[in-house]
Structure 1
Amino acid sequence: MRAASLGIRTRLVRVVVADEGMSTAEYAIGTIAAAAFGAVLYGVVTGDSIVNALTKIIDKALNTAV
């Protein structure tokens, strides 16, 4: 009887501790988060204020007297 309960405990511990398949879910969540961040970054960078600011910086850099 004691050996049977020890076997059940061992199986339960293996089930609880096992993390097989977790890396696939983590990669999927990471990929979705990266895509969402890229979409937000694209929206910010292509906004009028950022484009105007970058244009001013480039114009100022090109029009400096050396």
Structure 2
Amino acid sequence: MKLVTMFRVLEARAALLAADESGMSTVEYAIGTIAAAAFAAILYTVVTGDSVVTALTNIIARALNTKA
């Protein structure tokens, strides 16, 4: 086999491997799940903080305190 032919075969195989995406969806789902869990942990930390709880309590108290 000539060197040029071997190089073309190798190049074709490399292109096929680069285009093959089998298994990519599993990795994408794993990264998405980790990102969602991290976002949920940050959101939980923010929402359960004292300032947010106090602000929400004040908003609800003002909404329920109607003077007619």
Normalised to the residue count of structure 2, the TM-score between the two structures is 0.81
Deviations 1:37-63 (A, max 9, x none): 000000000000000000000000000
Pairwise CA distance, 1:12: 2.2
Aligned residue pairs: how many? Answer: 65
Pairwise CA distance, 1:7: 4.2
Structure 1 runs of 4+ with >3 Å offset: 4-9
CA RMSD of aligned residues (A): 1.7
Name the amino acid aligned to 1:59. A
Structure 1 partner of 2:27: 25
Structure 1 partner of 2:44: 42
CA distance in 2, matches of 1:47, 1:9: 57
Normalised to the residue count of structure 1, the TM-score between the two structures is 0.83
Question: Structure 2: which 5+ runs fail to align?
Answer: none
SS of the residue aligned with 2:22? coil
Deviations 1:7-61 (A, max 9, x none): 4433221111111111100100000000000000000000000000000000000
Q: Which moved more, 1:49-58 or 1:15-24?
A: 15-24
Q: Percent identity?
A: 57
